[in-house]
């Protein structure tokens, strides 16, 4: 029997269910498509917004933020939750400037702290605990990020981590690249840690959502 599900058909259908985004957000999506820039996309964005909104998140730290697309979804939720702070981190000064422009145009810039530095170093140097930590750094660095994330996420907080299907490379037993091994090792570590409740959502390139007990 032929499998009736086509991955791209399903993803396109899921995208069609996401409410229309503001014009500035649609510009960001067009820019990503034009230049092949890896954003989380509207389906994962809506999921991040839903999770943040439903748990009343006020303090969010993004490890890897690009030009602010994912930041928009978290900041939207934080605004609706009564205000707070979203930390945007990126190495590239140009990306940081783009993010500041996009989020200002969306009326959300006042909620965002911009870190133009390495993501894990930024998290180490920022005081406090967080309701949500979003992780989208270089995949080979995923395993080393977990102890720090665990330390800085509050009990009852959520870790959201992108690219956990890694373009299906995790299914290739011959792929021993640092990025693929990083995704595999992180997945093994967090799913075997009793301090986390974990699920992997097959949205886009796979998103792990983990609840810290």
**Sequence ranges of the domains in the chain:** 7-212
Token pair listed for 97: 């400037």
pTM of the model: 0.94
**Mean per-residue pLDDT pooled into runs of 10, the chain (213 residues):** 72 93 97 93 97 98 96 98 98 95 98 96 97 96 97 98 94 96 97 98 94 98
Give the SS3 label for residue 153: strand
* pLDDT reported for residue 118: 95
* pLDDT reported for residue 11: 86
Assigned fold of 7-212:
Rossmann fold (3.40.50)
Q: How far apart are CA 74 and CA 85, in angstroms?
A: 9
120: part of which helix (H) or strand (E)? helix 119-125
């Amino acid at each position: 029997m032929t499998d009736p599900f086509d991955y791209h058909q399903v993803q396109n259908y899921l995208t069609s269910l996401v409410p229309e985004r503001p014009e500035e957000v649609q510009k960001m999506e067009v820019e990503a498509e034009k230049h092949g820039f890896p954003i989380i996309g509207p389906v994962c964005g809506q999921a991040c917004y839903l999770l943040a909104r439903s748990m009343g998140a006020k303090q969010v730290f993004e490890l890897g933020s690009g030009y602010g697309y994912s930041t928009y979804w978290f900041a939207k939720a934080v605004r609706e939750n009564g205000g707070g702070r979203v930390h945007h981190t990126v190495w590239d000064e140009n990306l940081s400037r783009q993010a500041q422009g996009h989020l200002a145009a969306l009326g959300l810039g006042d909620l965002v702290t911009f870190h133009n530095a390495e993501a894990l170093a930024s998290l180490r140097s920022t005081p406090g605990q967080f309701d949500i930590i979003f992780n989208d750094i270089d995949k080979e660095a995923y395993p080393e990020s977990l102890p720090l994330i665990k330390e800085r996420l509050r009990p009852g907080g959520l870790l959201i981590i992108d690219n956990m299907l890694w373009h299906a490379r995790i299914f290739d037993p011959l792929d021993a690249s640092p990025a693929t091994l990083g995704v595999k090792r992180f997945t093994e570590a967090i799913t075997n840690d009793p301090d986390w409740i974990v699920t992997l959502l097959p949205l886009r390139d796979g998103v792990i959502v983990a609840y810290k007990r």
